[in-house]
A and B are shown apart, each in its own frame.
Chain A
Amino acid sequence: MAVDILERVYQAFDPQKPLEAADTDRYVNLDEVRGSTGFVQRLAEPIFLSAKPTCQIVTGHHGSGKSTELLRLQRELQQHRKKPFVVYCEALEDIDRNDVDFPEVLIALVRQMAAQLRERAGIVLKPGYFKDRLQQLKGILGAPITIDEIGVDTGLLSLSATMKNSPDARAKVRAALEPDTSNLLNAANDLIGAAKMELLNKGYGDLVIIVDDLDKMVLRPCDKAACDTCEYLFINREGQLRGFLCHVVYTMPIACAYSSMSTRIANLYGALPPVVPMTKIATRPPRSKPYEPGIRKFREVIAVRLKKIGADSGQVFESDAVRDSIITLSGGQLRELMMLVREGMGGSGLPITQKAVQRAAAENRRAYSRQLLEEDWPIIEMVRKTGNLPRDVSHEEANRVLLDSRAILQYINDEDWYGVNPFVASLPRAQIRKRKK
């Protein structure tokens, strides 16, 4: 029996899995403590109001609940009287996050669109112009890419798998597709148009594609231009990302929203990307204090999950203090909360003891102490004292890395402010390494 509850709790606190939109029992609306009132609303409105296809970008910290919000967006849109068909595209199924460029994004988008149209609407898209192109790629890769009149999704599956797993194949395919990107986009739009006609016939409204996971792309210098891969994709490839003739929502790495890129992003895509922020569980520095409404919400997040599996708090946490210390350590990050529960279980089994929480905290501190550099420290100090990041170009790279690694967390209330990750905050400065030259 005890083993059974262990398993159930462990599964209930899965940090990798966003809540399904239909999973309303476990969903806790955090808008008011995040300060992101109407995240879903903000994205949905342009889609319903615009006469033309829209292209929106969203971002947020790892683990802030972005995917959960996007799944809610999907559900909200689909429940609207206009009945759009919403494709939720998990890009990492088709893409290697270490190396992302537009052709793969396009292939992932088209493949998953076709697959979901087949599964959920019984629409089978013919390969159209993709047929000829893929036959050619077959020759280039020497790989068995079969594409026939059965459907475009199956044909693209073997291509995307080959591209995801072999950097060599990826390079070849890109070289072959690059000169033809606009044709490729036209071919995709042709399919999108055919899909929409069938959708309308089946009583659906417009087509919306949510491309999740692009926020997880690894930032590294781009081979093709003097910028990083994220900037290359979202700025240099902007015309192509915006080129699909349906509504599209992309996720973008949070670090890009807090760099000199941000104004260009706003200019190109028409708005600053909405951010799914951390839940506020402490007030803004200086004199940062626990923020009771946020803490209450996180208690609720834990409670509804336990209720769903028929467990109670006493079985899982040694005391309410243990539960609250986990909440404090999470820094308002939902995923971190889930991970800490799991780590606590790893340390002591159930119920989770204070000692197990301390052990988990120590592990995390050690992980940050390995990452942080001497030059990061003045920034951390500034955040601790003011709740702001230094806003000059010389710090941009460091800011980006700190946000990306979540050593610094971003909150939104009436204004944007920053806080130091609780693990980092308790880190003695002496442990910080000198920068390696």
Chain B
Amino acid sequence: MSQSAPIPEVEREAAELAALQRVLKISRGTFSLSVAVCNNVPLRNHIIEKVRSSCPGIEVLSVPEGVVDVYGWVLSQPRSSDPPALFIVDIDRSIRSDDKTYPALASLNASKDLWPKRFSCPVIIWLPEYAATLLSIHARDFWARKSHQFHFSAEPMTAMEVSRTVFHGGTDWALSLDADRKQFRIAELQQRLAEIGDSPGPEMAPHALAWMNELGVLFWFTGKTGESVAVHERALLLAQALQDKEATAIALGNLGVAYADLDETRRAIELYDKALVIAREIGDRRGEGNDLGNLGLAYADLGETRRAIEFYEKALVIAREIGDRRGEGADLGNLGLAYAAVGETRRAIEFYEKALVIDREMGDRGGEGADRGNLGLAYAALGDARRAIEFYEKQLVIVREIGDRRGEGNALGNVGLAYAALGETRRAIEFYEKQLVIVREIGDRRGEGNALGNLGNAYADLGETRRAIEFNEKRLVIAREIGDRRGEGNALGNLGNAYLSLGDARRAIEFYEKCLTIHREIGDRPGEGAGLWNMALALEKMGQRPEAIRRGEEALDIMKAIEDPNAEMVQRILDKWRKG
């Protein structure tokens, strides 16, 4: 999934921004220490620019990498005599995770009493979340001195998390073929299936089922989702005709996965349920575990994260019971994703690390790649984009080694997102373009949509709104073509954001309206919440506050229900609107 940017970044931080400006005013001419947490460099710079334009003369000092004595370095910088405030940014570049003694933090702690003596203005230290956490632990006394804290969070990054959907019957090698050979393989399979006919004898029946499965997955991958469903349905009919319960359960499961990818999640759940009944009936514990895991993924898509966690836990119990270590790794990874979705990032990291241990033990390189990618995402969510990139690079090595080109595309996209968070948008674009080349090469239409969406967002960050609109329109076309409803919703949301930033709130609202319809149709609760909040912000901008509050309250209800980590922030802004 691309960064769906459902909430225009700066507006939603209005309450925090107002608080920061108030503190600067109150504290003018006297020392005060504040920490402003912001995970996203462009967002941070945007906010700083905004503050500086309303309060000219603020000094911004960017600490170079490797500085240990931050206080001494700041002191050594030439300054105007009486700035209204001092912003210190980029200390995190000197906090390296490879030195657990964190000398820069220790030195900062030791300098706690020196600051008030030399500075008579508000000092605000800007840090990403992970660095703020480290500061609070390794520079306790310094942290205790701070009088204010602000939190500017970028919208949660829904990058390409690697959930472990279980396709029954491995098709990994098929998915790793390049686009031409995929087309060749599709033709070969179609020809074989045509030759076998609809009622194969016992010799060919198991092969017919396997080939239909592979063909269905290849169709899905190359964006022919309708054909994919049709083939899986044929497999289901054949399995039922043969009264082969095991094959029937497999076909039901695969059909479920196909519908899940068409974002017909409820239908997918029905199919998984049927498959689950059969798996239990024939005592196929492994199949039962697969179906439970897929049910978890489906409920996670619907935003019912707690329910998803219950399913993953049941699947985990089975995997452990039958000694299915691979399944265990997959279930742990999925549990991590679920905890990440409700904002429990540290807990998510614990699960990914457990999964990583198992996958390495089993030599499951594919799983290992997924774990490393997910760890990267978790660190990115904590604002540690550099560490995230380290994980993505390890993931890249693995996916290239095992020839998982689709994984390579995802990993490249994630590296791009991390650079985007570091403010290196041009570099991010380079990675998105590499991603685009690979996904086009292997005919991964869904991935192509994601890459285009990422490019659209990057150009939006660069302020090239027209170009952003172009990319999102291309993305919209692909999403509609392949029936990727979720992608369609994201593209519409991004287009809304783009028009809003061009000042065309009316048009933005039209897009949000369409986007909202889709999220509701596919039962995507997180998307629905974000969509409603976007509407609220656009309405507020048009001066329609009562309507904005009404939409905002609807959004808040959903966000609370799904334990969206942003609920608190939305609540605060709503309170402010009600008062104002």
Contact = CB atoms under 8 A, between A and B. Distances in A.
Main secondary structure of the interface of A (DSSP, over half): helix
A148 to B, nearest CB: 15
B363 A193 contact: no
Q: Which of the listed residues A178, A182, A193 has the most CB atoms from chain B within 10 Å of its own CB?
A: A193
A245 B365 contact: no
A129 B188 CA distance: 13
B49 interface: no
A194 B207 CA distance: 9
Nearest to B366: A179
B270 interface: no
B203 A129 contact: no
A197 B170 contact: no
A197 B204 contact: yes
B210 A189 contact: yes
Contacts of B242: 51
B433 interface: no
Contact of B363 (A50, A179, A183, A196): A179
A206 B173 contact: no
A186 B169 contact: yes
Nearest to A236: B323
A26 B283 CA distance: 49
B580 interface: no
A137 interface: no
Given A179-B365, A179-B402, A197-B195, A52 B173 contact: no
A196 B204 contact: yes
A187 B173 CA distance: 9
Contacts of B202: 50-52, 206
A422 interface: no
B82 interface: no
B203 A178 contact: no
B206 interface: yes
B321 interface: no
Interface in A356-392: none
Given A129-B173, A189-B210, A200 B365 contact: no
B364 A192 contact: no
A282 interface: no
Contact of A205 (B173, B203, B364): B203
B426 interface: no
Nearest to A200: B203
A132 B403 contact: yes
Contacts of B363: 175, 178-179
B130 interface: no
Nearest to B209: A245
Contacts of A192: 207
A186 B203 CA distance: 16
Interface string A205-242: 11100000000000000000000000000000000000
Contact of B211 (A50, A183, A193, A206): A193
Contacts of B211: 193
A182 B170 contact: yes
Contacts of A183: 170, 172-173
Contacts of A187: 173
A196 B173 contact: no
Interface in A173-204: 175, 178-180, 182-183, 186-187, 189-190, 192-194, 196-197, 200
Nearest to A185: B170
A197 B192 contact: yes
A189 B202 CA distance: 15
Interface in A134-182: 136, 175, 178-180, 182
A196 B210 contact: no
Contacts of B196: 197
Given A51-B202, A179-B366, A193 B207 contact: yes
Contact of A186 (B195, B210, B362, B403): B210
Contacts of A52: 202, 206, 244
A187 B170 CA distance: 10
A132 B173 contact: yes
A168 to B, nearest CB: 18
A18 interface: no
A8 to B, nearest CB: 44
Contacts of A194: 192
Given A178-B363, A179-B366, A245 B206 contact: yes
Given A179-B363, A197-B196, A186 B207 contact: no
A53 interface: yes
Contacts of A179: 362-366, 402
Nearest to B323: A236
Contact of B207 (A132, A175, A180, A245): A245
B9 to A, nearest CB: 41
Given A186-B173, A200-B203, A207-B203, A193 B210 contact: yes
Interface string B347-370: 000000000000000111110000
B402 A189 contact: no
A203 to B, nearest CB: 13
Interface string B188-224: 0000100110000011101100110000000000000
A186 B173 CA distance: 9
A224 to B, nearest CB: 10
14 contacts: A51-B202, A53-B206, A129-B173, A132-B403, A179-B363, A179-B402, A180-B172, A180-B402, A186-B171, A186-B173, A192-B207, A197-B196, A205-B203, A245-B206
7 closest Cβ pairs, A-B complex: A193-B207, A245-B206, A179-B363, A206-B203, A182-B170, A51-B202, A179-B365
